[in-house]
Amino acid sequence: MIKRTLFFGNPAYLSTKNEQLVVNFPEEGKKEATIPIEDLGYVVLEDPQITITNGLIRKLVQNKTAIITCDAQHLPCSVLQPLVGHSEQTERIRHQLNASLPLKKNLWQQTVEAKIDNQANHLLRREKNALKLKRWAKAVKSGDTGNHEAIAAADYFQKLFEEVEGFSRNQKGVPPNNLLNYGYAILRAVTARALVSSGMLPSVGIFHRNKYNAFCLADDIMEPYRPYVDAVVYEMVEAGGNISELSTNLKSQLLTIPALDVFLDGKWSPLMVAMSRTTNSLYECFLGSSRKILYPEFQKEWQPA
């Protein structure tokens, strides 16, 4: 089932009644709105004057709905997830923590290969040269000792947004970096939600290990999914218009990312569903019953076959 994403960019009072999310607006004339909690996958809270009751927070968390809050720059800055996301969580975390270094290096190799290949296919969709990326994808070794992930990323972004003057991939760089930052933050929340639902700790990564980063594993596993965000942003840039400010319209387009169609293991499915399959396959690798992570394959065509 595709879960809905709700975005609140104006002052609102959020509560719950009869298993519904109830929305009341301080402005006169706006009617109360209700949405079934079971339909929700993500709730994005942007406006600082939003009030949410503890009862609603509890029900959202029990429904495994990710509650995303935003900072002063309107970028997602935190994700509220359940303390217990899976009935076998303790055992699953133990397997995750006991993963050997050779296994982690092999998993990172698979991750980087999938990311670079997806980046190459995205360039091909845009009728851009991807020969180097295709070659680098095949050259990745265990642990990516040759740092092909970073080398490929630099070449990829240079070609993808070559028409944008002064562009380089940098969080504080010129647009569309602002759109990429927002899209990646949403993708990170999708990944963290799936990891918790699969009974793993998003903070203990296979490659990323910054002690100040609470989402190291999420940052690892989302890598092959990044080109889907890039594709949405590319279309927004190509459509023209002002992208220097994150307008409500631009955010609404980026908030469709969890529902994007992706091709995984021979089947089309919404990105949020595919991510859950990816995180479940990761646990099977930690368990020892599998050696392969299921990652999506970026297709040249837009629509599912």
Binding residues for Mn(2+): 149, 208, 223
139: part of which helix (H) or strand (E)? helix 131-139
Reference 273, options 261, 286, 255, 290; nearest CA is: 261
Pair 193, 279: CB distance under 8 Å = no
Tokens read off for 62: 């029990």
List, as residue ranges, the binding site: 149, 208, 223
Integer Cα distance of 222 and 292 in angstroms: 16
- Which residue shows structure tokens 């070794």? 141
Pair 168, 181: CB distance under 8 Å = no
Q: Which residues pair with 267 in a beta bridge?
A: 264
Q: At what angle do helices 271-287 and 89-97 cross, to 10 degrees?
A: 70
Integer Cα distance of 297 and 261 in angstroms: 11
Phi first, then psi, for residue 130 (nearest 5°) are -130, 20
Count the neighbouring beta carbons within 10 Å of the beta carbon of residue 117.
Answer: 23
- Region label for 81, one of left (φ > 0), alpha (ψ between -120 and 50) or beta (otherwise): beta
- Region label for 79, one of left (φ > 0), alpha (ψ between -120 and 50) or beta (otherwise): beta
